[in-house]
Structure 1
Amino acid sequence: MASTIISAKYPPNIDPTRTPLAYGDRAIPRLNRELNDENLIVRQRAVMSLCDHLHDPEHIAEALRNGIGVSLKNLLKDDDITVRQKATECLFVMAGHALGRDSFLENETIYPVARLFDDSEDIARKNAHLCVMRISETPPGAEGIVQAQFVQVLVKKLQTELNEIKELILDTLHFCMRVDTQSALDASAMEAFTSLLKHELPVIRAKAARDIMDLSVPLAGKDRAVACGALPLLRDMLKDPTMEVRANSAGAIMTITITTKGKYTAIHAVSIPPLVDLVDDVNSEVRLNAIKALTCLSEAPEGRQELLKHVDKIRKHETDHIPAVGKAAEIAVKVITWLP
């Protein structure tokens, strides 16, 4: 199915000529002055030159010392889309380095960036989500996003945003849930992720299944996954032609079925046969997650009875060339063949 691609091209009436850089250590101070100039063309050229200049990591520390972070924060409110677009792009580049991330959090730049989630221009929204996603990749950044109470905003945006941006939001929430799952549960994230399991794009289905696995780590998340009907949809995705979808779906089932309620819901949803089929999958991550999920299901008497028919198939993988898969197969065989 065709998908909308967000264009980063500039409007035809915008002069893309970058402002000439001053020599040596005068370059950044001059750019900083021009970023705050009243003339729109001057601001546009300055922010374009700055974006190129910052791709050299050596210039990021100097830029921060000269107050570039504060100037970019102010430009996020500029009326011109080109200025907003390039300002968020500069922040994204800076957020790829520890100093830039620290500055992002210290200056509370996350708040004006988050306001761009509602921007009328697709590219401004995409760049804003790129910035937040990059910040979320480290625990302090993820904690900052959670503390700013943006998890609920991100979950709501999953329902309305373009597919490109949905991918970024799913990644951001993935990192945020590593430091806090309660905010996502309170924002009904499990229901949002479950609805995306039927999305037409494999990458979104895969990331939605991964996020369900993340959110199912606490007991409340496992119960919510069962309650909102995630297991039957995850079962259907075990036959997906995309490897990431199969791996993440098996991983999500593995996490949910740790509880007794999850085990019996999966067994009643007939999840054992498709999981058994994945034991011989060509991808090691798929094999590992499938075997671990079957181990969880075999802890229930009904699951053990069914899996005794397939124990030889699992036993073959005790000598798998991937040590983790071999170890998981050994544990699975012991659990399945256990006698009181």
Structure 2
Amino acid sequence: MAGVRADPTWAPVAFGRRAVPQLFEELQKPEPGRRLRALASLCDLVHDPELLYQAVNGGNTELYQAVNGGFMEQLAVLLEDEDPLVKVKTCELLHQLTAHSAGRQALLTSSLLSPLSLLLDDSSSSCRTSVHRVLNRLALLPAGAESLLSLVPKLMLKLRHEEDEEEEEEEEEVQVLLLSTIACCSRLDAQPSLSSDGVSLLRRKLSHRRPDIRREAAAAMMALSVPVDGKRQVCEEEELLPVLLHLLQDEDVDVRTNAAGVIMNVAIITAGKQRCLGLDVITVLLSLLSEEEQEEEKRRRRKALVVYSLRALTALAEAPDGRHLLLEHLPLLVRRSQDAEEDQEVRRAAQTAVEVVTWTP
């Protein structure tokens, strides 16, 4: 019987706890081919949580502990490698590492964020995409989003740059990752995005043909509309609220939800109430509440949309014109507030809306 032939793109892997130290040695070899094969093998190995923990924490082997520096420090060197393929494969390995909590923690406490941010301008599109994947996974955690706040102005510049280039499928994937990262960071602190012309840049993405780009852009806009300055900028941005009104009727439920969230936030301030009432937003929000879903899964997905719509109507009911219009549709709000099969959070939001609409001095 013929023997099994090893994959020539992977480095040979030692058995057990010797595997990671051996590949770590290969990463420091001068030949790019050996480094690439070692990185390919590591990408496969780090799917094993135990081996991943050994890699990022040094393991217990004397050889590993004797190595000058550490695993993450060596990856920082590889991010500046002269061979572009080595940089791409290193970014892929970091993306694999960030799938695990130990890997994310190791990356956040390392010095890799600075060289990673430099690769956002790398000539290789594969490298740039891998970097965005790493940053996006980090941003999903509060600690990661906080560590990336200083990068937000650069991310906004990249968003403008992506807009100016002819869009391809790969570049559109980068836009989704970029917008998602900006949204996560802005939920923690919206000011860096607001100070980087974020409202204007995001508005241009709200009409994109891809629903995932519209969804992430609307999610980021909702985060920017939380502080008072953000609410004001949304109101002042030309044609933004009409676009959001259009998104309330989008085919994608998440796009509708995020758009309703922006209107909910903006309707809190007087200027937002006036703009929304002038656009007849109440009619569209009421139509969303009138939609009935029999399937439990669809009702669950629409829960946030319904809650945001009710809260937006509550804010608009504080204006005399809004209250007058909503009095005509009070039965719908009452039904939502009393339906025993309705979600408890939806009922509470509807009850608050009824109280505001029926309030008398």
Q: After TM superposition, is the score higher than 0.5?
A: yes
Aligned counterparts of 1:79 and 1:16: Cα–Cα separation in 2: 22
Q: Which of 353, 356, 360 does residue 332 from structure 1 map onto? A: 353
Structure 1 equivalent of residue 260 of structure 2 = 250
1:80-95 alignment runs, 5 A limit? 80-95=83-98
Instruction: Please say if residues 19 and 49 of structure 1, whose CA atoms lie closer than 8 Å, have aligned partners that are also in contact.
Output: yes
Aligned counterparts of 2:160 and 2:118: Cα–Cα separation in 1: 18
TM-score between both structures, scaled by the size of structure 1: 0.91
1:123-272 alignment runs, 5 A limit? 123-146=126-149, 149-161=150-162, 162-229=171-238, 230-272=240-282
Aligned length: 324
1:280 is displaced (CA, Å) by 2.4
State the SS of the aligned residue for 2:156. Answer: helix
Partner AA of 2:17 in structure 1: D
1:194 is displaced (CA, Å) by 1.3
Partner AA of 2:35 in structure 1: R
1:16 is displaced (CA, Å) by 5.5
1:20 is displaced (CA, Å) by 0.9
Structure 2 equivalent of residue 73 of structure 1 = 76
Instruction: Please say if residues 190 and 224 of structure 1, whose CA atoms lie closer than 8 Å, have aligned partners that are also in contact.
Output: yes
Structure 1 equivalent of residue 113 of structure 2 = 110
Structure 1 equivalent of residue 328 of structure 2 = 309
The alignment yields a C-alpha RMSD, in angstroms, of: 1.5
Amino-acid identity (%): 36
Structure 1 equivalent of residue 297 of structure 2 = none
Instruction: Please say if residues 248 and 259 of structure 2, whose CA atoms lie closer than 8 Å, have aligned partners that are also in contact.
Output: yes
Structure 2 equivalent of residue 3 of structure 1 = none
Aligned counterparts of 2:73 and 2:148: Cα–Cα separation in 1: 19
Q: Does 1:287 align with 2:306?
A: yes
TM-score between both structures, scaled by the size of structure 2: 0.86
Per-residue CA deviations over 1:199-242 (Å, capped at 9, x if unaligned) read 11111111111111111111111001111132221111111111
Partner AA of 2:345 in structure 1: A
Q: Which of 86, 100, 103 does residue 103 from structure 2 map onto? A: 100
1:5-44 alignment runs, 5 A limit? 17-44=9-36
Structure 2 equivalent of residue 11 of structure 1 = none
Aligned counterparts of 1:152 and 1:160: Cα–Cα separation in 2: 12
Instruction: Please say if residues 280 and 287 of structure 1, whose CA atoms lie closer than 8 Å, have aligned partners that are also in contact.
Output: no
1:337 is displaced (CA, Å) by 1.4
Instruction: Please say if residues 17 and 51 of structure 2, whose CA atoms lie closer than 8 Å, have aligned partners that are also in contact.
Output: no
